[in-house]
A = this chain, B = another copy of it.
Amino acid sequence: MRKIFLGAALAAIALPLSAQQPARPRSAPEIVKSAPASDWVSISPDDLLVMSLAPDAQGKPRQIILQLLPPPFSQGWIGNMRKLAAAHWWDGGAVYRVQDNWVAQFGDPDEDTPQAKPLPEGLAVVPESEYTAPLPQSRKADLATAMVSMVAGDRTHLPESAPDSYADSGLFNNGWPMATDLERIWPTHCYATIGVGRNDSPDTGTGAELYAVIGTPPRQLDRNIAVVGRVIEGIEHLSSLPRAPGNGMYNDKAKNTPIQTIRLASQLPQADQPRFQYLSTQSQSFRDYVQARVNRRDSFYIYAAGSADICNIPVPIRRAP
């Protein structure tokens, strides 16, 4: 990227003086702000869950918006989650576990006890094979090219490929951070990722008990647990909750944070449906954004890393303008 940066500077010399003014490369936020409308993709209200916690100590509402992961990953659990929301099953549940640098977990605080809330009928039992999917043929060629460049010392080939500590490569796929072993592809555990709580294998969980990541990306959970979505607004209502020691379960139920409702956005009145968009990870704007993230050129930085972790390049998401 240092070379590309230099190249841009040289190109500027040939321009008239007035055009030379913005010599400073655009920052990541500037790139996102100026992305054309055509680079933004609407998120269907069928793919959004609206979660309302009880108001905080000051009486302020606490709303959290979750985006569900698109096919082909984890669709069995996600189908269960749509059924649970339609049945209002989560209403009256709670955030009952908050472990520092790990997860905030929610659902039925009486799970695994005789007082457990019965699940709706007809939930799917989902196999572990839904944790991953075959890598599409179309991505293999891009990856091969990008990884050859990476071996040659160029670590800037995101979004086709990113150096990764947990897989052969990180990459972006339909708006989501993923990883691959060049045969299969799977969603990664990043900050604000939503996954399905489970007991030991072969149990894979139902989707009724969920967690949100609130610390270091726990990438060791990739391929061990179902990723089903991410928090796209209001993660601070989970991440700032009081921690409990040990595994984070509150020993006093009075410390649980009650869930008022969780609804599929498409089942809310039209006027109440939140409308969100993500920046297409196939757009030039996203490519520019990635380059700005891997080579910070803000005046604050004296050193540009030349690469970035897949979990440290959050896909831009906004309320529809």
Contacts and interface: CB of A to CB of B under 8 A. Distances in A.
Interface in A91-129: 98, 100-101, 128
A291 interface: no
A216 interface: yes
Most chain B beta-carbon contacts within 10 A, residue among A166, A219, A239, A296: A166
A220 interface: yes
Nearest to A296: B220
A224 B309 contact: no
A309 B166 contact: yes
A100 B220 contact: no
Contacts of A170: 165
Interface stretch (A45-53, A80-88, A240-248): A240-248
Contacts of A228: none
Interface in A198-230: 200-201, 215-220, 222-224
A162 B165 CA distance: 8
A15 interface: no
Contacts of A299: 200-201
Sorting the interface of chain A by its residue count into under 10, 10 to 19, 20 to 34 or 35 or more gives 35 or more
A133 interface: no
A-B pairs, top 9 by smallest CB distance, nearest first, are A236-B243, A165-B309, A223-B303, A100-B236, A163-B165, A191-B216, A201-B302, A200-B299, A166-B305
A216 B101 CA distance: 9
Contacts of A217: 216, 309, 312
Interface in A170-210: 170, 190-192, 200-201
Contacts of A4: none
A100 B100 CA distance: 14
Given A98-B240, A224-B300, 8 more contacts: A101-B191, A101-B239, A128-B302, A165-B312, A201-B299, A216-B309, A217-B309, A240-B241
Most chain B beta-carbon contacts within 10 A, residue among A98, A216, A300, A311: A216
A309 B57 contact: no
Contacts of A224: 296, 300-303
B301 A100 contact: no
Contacts of A191: 101, 215-216
